[in-house]
Amino acid sequence: MNNSLLYQIALTLIPNIGCIQSRALLEHFEPEDIFKAPKRLLEKIDGLGEIRIRSIRGFNNFTEAENELAFIEKYKIQPLFIQDEVYPKRLLNCYDAPILLYYRGNANLNQSKIISIVGSRTHTDYGKAITETLVASLSGENVLVVSGLAYGIDSIAHKACLKNEMATVGVLAHGLNKIYPNSHKEMAKEMIKQGGLLTEFRHTALPDRHNFPSRNRIVAGMADATIVIETDIKGGSMITAELANGYNKDVFAIPGKVTDKKSSGSNHLIKNNKAILLTDASQLLETMGWTSTRKPEPPAAKELFISLTPEEKVIIGLINEKGVASIDDINLQSGLNSSMVAVSILNLEMKNVIQGMPGKMYRLY
């Protein structure tokens, strides 16, 4: 039996002792010694108080810690204690960093470029297209993408990473003995081979509502930047964005129509200077100081390597014919509805196929 790990798990089980108090204790004691510490020494630690000291000295629930240890060993889970070298270092700058994480995967959680992508569970076609295009544009840049394995933008981001052979990590709001939602089981299996699954919750923990804000702080804290694709003003992604701001992380948001409720949260973040307006992957790389590892493609060869939808091809044809085309021209002559035109135009801009000009005019690059 791994006694050190047993006491690390036990530390997370002490009633009334959270992440902040645990970090304070670890500044003075080894995990095992916390349970043997005399009251006079515990009283010297700020933030404990009588109730918490009694919780520590009266703790005897090592059976649950042993059960968790058995699960870890049986399923080859990698525990990441806050003092371990492989613990996600970016989380150490968060005052409420988890003391112990449970991990299945092969991604380096301390690699040089990590972003979190979050957004609405009930996404629009616009949100889906933006997410897929952004991820595809980052392929080959050695970026690890973190999200929450939820419906909507989260799962779209994970799937886009798998498709583009990029590492992606899902942060769970429950233990590693299940996948929630159940429909993401197959995707989660692929992610373990091409990224990983990470949680602070023991294997018996259910995906209860109060676990999701805790999950969100890990999504925000372990990345260099959080990107909000699409969210309502009261969406869970807004919590993640606020947490990222609180951790002094960069936050980006994709703008949307002012009349679109699904983009109201993103627009609010931009309007209130809580997020940088993001238009494409190259802007992200430049803002973060991440030099692109790709060689620029010759202009004549560019279109050969870009996957275009039928709608995008129609729009390119119109712009090519006119040289410069207005949004009104495109709406009138393409035969596409305005929503499809808007999504296609944004996609083409992010792929660096067309260039926006003043007066809602567009030309080919």
Q: What is the pLDDT of residues 244-286, one digit of tens each?
A: 999 999 999 999 888 888 899 999 999 999 999 998 999 999 9
Q: Identify the three-state secondary structure at position 299.
A: helix
Tracing tokens 């080919």 back to the chain, one arrives at 364
Indicate the range of 113-117, 250-254, 325-329 predicted with least confidence: 325-329
Radius of gyration of the chain from its Cα atoms, rounded to whole angstroms: 24
d(CA 165, CA 76): 24
pTM of the model: 0.81
Q: Which of 150, 144, 190, 194 is nearest to 171 (CA)?
A: 150
Query: What's residue 301's pLDDT?
Result: 39
Any idea of the CA torsion for 29, 34, 40, 46, to the nearest 10 degrees? 70
SS3 label, residue 109 = coil
Does pLDDT of 217 surpass 60? yes
pLDDT reported for residue 350: 81
**How confident is the model at residue 115, as a pLDDT?**
98
Residues 66-110 have pLDDT tens digits of: 999 999 999 999 999 999 999 999 999 999 999 999 999 999 999
Q: Would you say 228 and 251 are in contact if contact means Cβ atoms under 8 Å apart?
A: yes
Element (H, E) at 264: helix 264-271
User: Is residue 243 within 8 Å of residue 269, measured between CB atoms?
Assistant: no
Tokens representing 164 are: 């583009």
Q: Which residues contact 178 (CB under 8 A, 6 or more apart)?
A: 207
What local confidence, expressed as pLDDT, does residue 306 receive?
A: 64
Q: What pLDDT was estimated at residue 299?
A: 44
Taken as a whole, the chain contains a residue count of 365
The answer to whether residues 221 and 247 touch, using CB atoms and an 8 Å cutoff, is yes
Q: Which residues, including other chains, have CB under 8 Å from residue 20's CB and lie 6 or more apart?
A: 47, 95, 96
Q: What is the per-residue pLDDT for 329?
A: 85
Contacts 24+ apart (CB under 8 A), 306-312: 306/351, 306/353, 308/353, 309/344, 309/347, 311/336, 311/340, 311/341, 311/344, 312/344, 312/347, 312/348, 312/353
What span, in angstroms and rounded, lies between the C-alpha atoms of 196 and 89? 17
**357 φ, ψ (degrees, to nearest 5):** -130, 165
d(CA 78, CA 84): 11
Q: Which two tokens stand for residue 73?
A: 């060993």
pLDDT of residue 293: 57
> Which two structure tokens, joined as six digits, stand for 162?
């798998």
Confidence of residue 1 (pLDDT cuts 50, 70, 90): low
Q: Which two tokens stand for residue 45?
A: 């630690």
